[in-house]
Structure 1
């Protein structure tokens, strides 16, 4: 250790006594051993070890606690009495994915300030020294993990903290010892990654040694963007021999996975995104391995390189991490396209179609459906609907915009809520005025209502909502018929009875009349004409028989459609 660093051991013999300096040590290991021996002698006591840094310039000491033990540090056990069952038992376990993820989440701020990765920390005495010198961050991280673990087990926080501290001390001691004895593998200058990985695989065959060499290489990369480029270069220069290649590939994949876990790391990978939609699109391209996608055109070169690797079937752990990030981004309450509700709807539809087709174990379909259902519900907020309808020229366009939204929604509840907006618009006085007494021609208004009704019946609304909307459109059409007397004018016109009957049925068949009472009214008028004295007389004539057959054919087609 440097001459301006030493370790002080403090002892509190029991709950009522005060803290007292027991002694000072030059070596970390020695101070920890002294602390444990004091705990063995004083069963109800507590110990604390602090690392003391002397600043030669300021002539002052800075103290950083590195170990605490005993009742004073943890409080009394009251409720839980079970043993802690940590998923990690040895320092090597901390290099596994779930452990690194826990380390990342509990020390996110420190990692991002250092632009470092969990895998680096576990294999670099330099970074461990920085972490310990940072103050109480390591202790707070242990406490956070302990509290979370205790909540899901029968162990109390004291027990979990003790086990975590023991594991942390084992890990730190190993790193410091390996550093002192020059057993942390360094990255030789002048060699490419394939040579380094092959040499380690052939001589050591431990992932620990290769990870340490990679941490040594990354030490000169100060920013996440630089580390990303360095790691991708490693991924491009893997050994040729199959086993050595797999050995090296797995470690590069793990390092890249760590980097993706940080917001700053993802920003280095994806580049500056204008909104959440752009972030999600770029993540989707990475997940699909679509390195030639237009969406990656403005992204950093590293994004295209990673997408190509994933497209080639490499970086499986990295791809899984991207899938998890993608789901979290989709589940955010923020808009994909805050500047345009129409762009928001279009993008949400395109993403849903694309991602559901790509769903697999890493990106489960049920999670996707849940995410898009929540996103659909936000499209139905009153302010979003107001924005959607803001530029509608008339009530007909309002209905058209709302019905178009249905095709882009996920979830039965959302479609039922949309049906409520449509019903409200159909029942508005301005809507009735527009269709019944508006400037347009009656047949044009009827055709618009028929088209809207057909769209409703094709949609996937809940059955009750679908029937209510279809009936509301039919009733609005019936008001047009009652006000304008169009069918009455056709029925009582000067043409032959069978021609008038045909005209009524052709109006319905051509989509000019909504299904329901409007259609039944036209059919009833046609049947009256067919059974009238004039109609029966015309039916007996040679020219009338083909007309009767055509009327029967039209009636059959309309009944089938209905």
Structure 2
């Protein structure tokens, strides 16, 4: 007779490595989606989804493969079967950061059901008793630990399950027994210093204090509520005694687990949040000083990465004071992982998505202290930029533009904000397609707009492309296209003839021509070359030379234009 059903996701990082459990969910589509995402994001060489059905007759789970996709498994040379090594040989080893992370992953659904963290579950006797009483849950955990270990070592899966079951039983018995002995203190703010002093002499002080911390959290069922309970104690410890850093770290452990939750920020902020808003908050937490400095220079940063309030502001103060280093490192790692994902930052607004990504890039890059950190950050933003040059995103970015002029400006803005040479090249293709499109050509030749206005617009686009740091070959092709468009407009209206016959002094003519020669009034190319030739002719005239020599101030004003046009002072 069959019982509960769940789905497990396994992955092999390389074709030669063994299967490793990545997660377990109750929904088939969610499991397949998780596996497909890992392949798409190059986080695994191969993935496998299995359907686990509990048999009440045998008391074991039966596995059925639902999906097996990716690089074929490389056959390994036969080797003698060796006894499986204990990943955790004692209950104490389960309380390390790595051990708690594994518990949180294996019991994700169980923890969500009871609205607790792995830290609470491992320190509260009432939760441990509830878990131990459910034999199915214990067997399920043992099996999820045993399957990948058996595949990696070749040991008997039943032997490994028995070992894990015995360890779990031993760990549960320990917590329940310690609870009955009243080992875990009832912490109070007023008596905190005396309590910490007393606990400090215990050989397992972190475990004992952890039990007291878990008691504090029992009254709160939401992430925000748990933080409100814990932070006053952390603040008291942080300001009381430098030697109590170990105690702050004990409180830090459940706070890290709270922030690792998928919906924690939504609960803390009291509103639904998209990925961009969440990353903005996390970036403020780990790069508060840098965010303040950059926000003074760039108003977009202050708008997209707002200052923190409430419990988040309290946590930021603790981080800036040198506490919560593990939390800061964990958040920084999560930021990079989320940036590499395919989820949209701002699904409702492509413009806001680019602004948010730009703000995150400026602040995170400024906060990168080491070369390896900066390289990881650059890699993450290059990966995120792939989504910005996809056809779906570009379509959403340009669909509400009222004109081809607006569309080309959006696309060049895209070029300015994506990173990675491949992404820059793809963005250039979108710009090039717009420039050669019928819509843009029709509008750029529209006689309703004056020729100087159209030429000035093309010159502005060309300047932005130069500043966008595009690959040289592609950038030159775009500059040439803009130059050719400018030449066609200038030819239609006989621009050079009008410029050379315009009234006024030689200095006025020189100023006007230099604007075109320097690429300010028209794009660099045929028009600027013709204007430069006219400037050279004019400079050779006695009148112009006399005016320049008699008015040094006017010459100094023209000098930047002459330099931009490539005309030496002695010309």
Q: TM-score range by the shorter chain?
A: 0.7 to 0.9
- Structure 1 residues 252 and 422: alpha-carbon distance in aligned structure 2, compared to 1, 3 A threshold: same
Q: CA deviation at 1:349?
A: 0.8
Q: How does 1:163-312 map to 2 (within 5 A)?
A: 163-179=163-179, 182=181, 184-187=183-186, 192-202=191-201, 206-238=205-237, 242=241, 245-288=244-287, 301-312=310-321
After TM superposition, the structure 1 stretch with the greater mean CA deviation from structure 2, 80-89 or 332-341, is 80-89
Residue by residue over 1:501-531, the C-alpha shift from the partner in whole angstroms, topping out at 9 and shown as x without a partner, is: 886555424722322222223344666x67x
1:343 aligned residue: 352
Q: How does 1:62-461 map to 2 (within 5 A)?
A: 81-150=81-150, 157-158=157-158, 160-179=160-179, 182=181, 184-187=183-186, 192-202=191-201, 206-238=205-237, 242=241, 245-288=244-287, 301-360=310-369, 364-461=373-470
1:520 aligned residue: 529
Separation of aligned partners in 2, 1:234 and 1:492: 82
- Structure 1 residues 395 and 156: alpha-carbon distance in aligned structure 2, compared to 1, 3 A threshold: farther
Separation of aligned partners in 2, 1:176 and 1:494: 98
Answer yes or no: is the 8 Å Cα contact 2:519–2:565 preserved in 1.
no
Separation of aligned partners in 2, 1:557 and 1:361: 38
Separation of aligned partners in 2, 1:501 and 1:217: 79
Separation of aligned partners in 2, 1:237 and 1:376: 43
Separation of aligned partners in 1, 2:270 and 2:205: 35
- Structure 1 residues 353 and 547: alpha-carbon distance in aligned structure 2, compared to 1, 3 A threshold: same
Larger radius of gyration: 1
- Structure 1 residues 392 and 142: alpha-carbon distance in aligned structure 2, compared to 1, 3 A threshold: same
- Structure 1 residues 192 and 67: alpha-carbon distance in aligned structure 2, compared to 1, 3 A threshold: farther
After TM superposition, the structure 1 stretch with the greater mean CA deviation from structure 2, 88-97 or 296-305, is 296-305
Matched length = 482
Residue by residue over 1:279-338, the C-alpha shift from the partner in whole angstroms, topping out at 9 and shown as x without a partner, is: 122222222357999989897732232222222221222222322333333333232222
Residue by residue over 1:337-391, the C-alpha shift from the partner in whole angstroms, topping out at 9 and shown as x without a partner, is: 2222211111111111011112357993333323322332222233332333234
- Structure 1 residues 205 and 281: alpha-carbon distance in aligned structure 2, compared to 1, 3 A threshold: same
Answer yes or no: is the 8 Å Cα contact 1:112–1:262 preserved in 2.
no
Q: CA deviation at 1:276?
A: 1.9
After TM superposition, the structure 1 stretch with the greater mean CA deviation from structure 2, 116-125 or 343-352, is 116-125
2:546 aligned residue: 546
Paired residue secondary structure (2:333) = helix
Separation of aligned partners in 1, 2:511 and 2:369: 56
Answer yes or no: is the 8 Å Cα contact 2:513–2:531 preserved in 1.
yes
- Structure 1 residues 185 and 295: alpha-carbon distance in aligned structure 2, compared to 1, 3 A threshold: farther
Q: CA deviation at 1:154?
A: 6.1
CA RMSD for the aligned pairs?
4.1
Q: How does 1:22-61 map to 2 (within 5 A)?
A: none
Whether 2:565 is the aligned partner of 1:558: answer yes
Residue by residue over 1:60-87, the C-alpha shift from the partner in whole angstroms, topping out at 9 and shown as x without a partner, is: xxx999998xxx99xxxx9872333344
Residue by residue over 1:145-165, the C-alpha shift from the partner in whole angstroms, topping out at 9 and shown as x without a partner, is: 333445555656455434433
Q: CA deviation at 1:232?
A: 1.5
- Structure 1 residues 289 and 91: alpha-carbon distance in aligned structure 2, compared to 1, 3 A threshold: farther
Answer yes or no: is the 8 Å Cα contact 1:392–1:398 preserved in 2.
yes
- Structure 1 residues 521 and 336: alpha-carbon distance in aligned structure 2, compared to 1, 3 A threshold: same
Residue by residue over 1:44-71, the C-alpha shift from the partner in whole angstroms, topping out at 9 and shown as x without a partner, is: xxxxxxxxxxxxxxxxxxx999998xxx
- Structure 1 residues 513 and 119: alpha-carbon distance in aligned structure 2, compared to 1, 3 A threshold: closer
Q: CA deviation at 1:547?
A: 7.2
- Structure 1 residues 204 and 240: alpha-carbon distance in aligned structure 2, compared to 1, 3 A threshold: farther
Residue by residue over 1:103-154, the C-alpha shift from the partner in whole angstroms, topping out at 9 and shown as x without a partner, is: 0011011112112222232233321111123352222222223334455556
Residue by residue over 1:153-199, the C-alpha shift from the partner in whole angstroms, topping out at 9 and shown as x without a partner, is: 5656455434433322331232344345x163342779633332222
Paired residue secondary structure (2:428) = helix
Equivalent residue in structure 1 for 2:486, among 448, 455, 477: 477
- Structure 1 residues 462 and 544: alpha-carbon distance in aligned structure 2, compared to 1, 3 A threshold: closer
Residue by residue over 1:403-443, the C-alpha shift from the partner in whole angstroms, topping out at 9 and shown as x without a partner, is: 12222212221111111111111111232232234311112
Separation of aligned partners in 2, 1:267 and 1:366: 30
Residue by residue over 1:466-519, the C-alpha shift from the partner in whole angstroms, topping out at 9 and shown as x without a partner, is: 110000101111111222222244457899999988865554247223222222
